[in-house]
Amino acid sequence: MKPGSNRALLTISITGGLVWASFAPLSLLFGVYLRSLGLSYASIGLLMSVSTLLSPFLQPLFGAVADRYRNRKVIVSISLFSRSLAYLLLMLSTDVFGMSICYVAAGLFLAGFMPLAQSMVADLSEDNRLGVYMGRYRLFGSIGWAASCILTGLLAGGNLWNIFPLALAFSTVSFLVSLFLPSVEGTGKSHPSINSHRASSLKLAACFTASILISGVGMGATSSFLTISLSQLGSDPFFIGLVIAIGALLEVPAMYLGGWLSDRIGGLPVLVFGEVGLGMVYWLYGTVANLYSYLLIQSVRGVLYALYTVSGMSISSSLGGSRRRGLYAGFYNLSLQLGTASGPYLGGLVSDYRGLWAMFALSSALSLFSAVLLMPWITFFKKKNSQAPCSESLLVV
């Protein structure tokens, strides 16, 4: 790293950690809060889907603009300020319609942070260490998420409404820290092994996008209804927060491990392993009734999620090269968030008609299918790289 890069990466990582911390209160218990107001599963799923439906389409646009004009710091700070304002209005809302508008707005303004932060980290990293630096950045998100989960469980035990001021507090601090973000410029270089397989990489990008989209559907469905399932099994808010936090805490070392593995053996094998493993975890969600078993299940889920996340971020950044990192990061987040946005509504429909167990089973099948889409590319790039032993690829060895 260049002088000052460590401080730059730390500032970006802390900002990201606070953003992920602001996710936790609403992600954990907003569905439970809406259920307490009498909303159906389908209505809850629809609201959660709509809340993130517009943001993914804006992410490639924000990424492309940032790639062209390189003024990412200003865009990030304005986006986080606007998101905090939306959280404030959400906290003050007294009806479901007002909550819906503010919740949608809060998700919308994430488009100005997610792809830009990822591209800034990629610019700071060395090409052959991209996975490790992505892991270092993303583990701060896991730390923030875990801490916020525990805090949410403690504060929401007495009153579910407390999730709103807590989310606002984390979002506001993330904006304040973003004011200290440095200007980060790319090196103008792109990974040689990606250039040597440009035509193949374009086809891989299509399969990669489809895989992330499909796996995101299952992830969105299970994430939205796991806490409701635990609540129906007899869990209180504190235990729900503890279960989610344990998984997030194990993400911290696993994020670094995922980055190291992506650099060593390639992002594709790590991503496929993560998708297959998550599919098995979703199946357990629908079949295990013992509450304490979820401490172990969620621990495994945390490791697998870390492998899935870091490898996906590394692949998208390497496919884009340094000149289009923001754009490709935007497309990656577009496919992931489209999946996670549609997942809650689909999961709600299935749960209403067939029960939560059927929704978890469907999510499991989708995650396994997403892995099948990428398996042929592992063999393909192994064969290509065996013909060019001097190249190191972030896709696969």
Query: 178 or 391: whose pLDDT is higher?
Result: 178
Does some domain include residue 393? no
Domain that holds residue 354: 9-182+191-386
Answer whether residue 219 shows pLDDT above 90: yes
The span from the CA of 355 to the CA of 358, in Å, is 6
pLDDT digits (tens, 9 = 90+) for 109-121: 887 788 788 878 8
The span from the CA of 36 to the CA of 28, in Å, is 14
Largest CA distance in the chain: 64
The span from the CA of 52 to the CA of 61, in Å, is 16
Does some domain include residue 150? yes
Q: Are 52 and 341 in contact (CB under 8 A)?
A: yes
Does some domain include residue 397? no
Number of domains in the chain: 1
Answer whether residue 82 shows pLDDT above 90: yes
Answer whether residue 126 shows pLDDT above 70: no
Cα 104 from chain centroid? 17
40: left (phi over 0), alpha (psi -120 to 50) or beta: beta
pLDDT digits (tens, 9 = 90+) for 142-173: 788 888 888 888 888 778 889 999 999 999 99
pLDDT digits (tens, 9 = 90+) for 336-356: 888 887 888 888 889 888 888
Does some domain include residue 292? yes
For the domain that residue 46 is a member of, what is the CATH number?
A: 1.20.1250.20
Answer whether residue 239 shows pLDDT above 50: yes
User: To which residue do tokens 């992505």 refer?
Assistant: 134
Q: Side chain identity at 59, as an amino acid letter?
A: Q
DSSP letters spanning 247-280? HHHHHHHHHHHHHHHHHHH-HHHHHHHHHHHHHH
pLDDT digits (tens, 9 = 90+) for 282-299: 999 999 988 889 999 999
The span from the CA of 81 to the CA of 73, in Å, is 12
Q: Are 124 and 5 in contact (CB under 8 A)?
A: yes
**pLDDT value, residue 195:** 43
Does some domain include residue 3? no
pTM (predicted TM-score)? 0.73
In eight-state DSSP terms, residue 394 is S
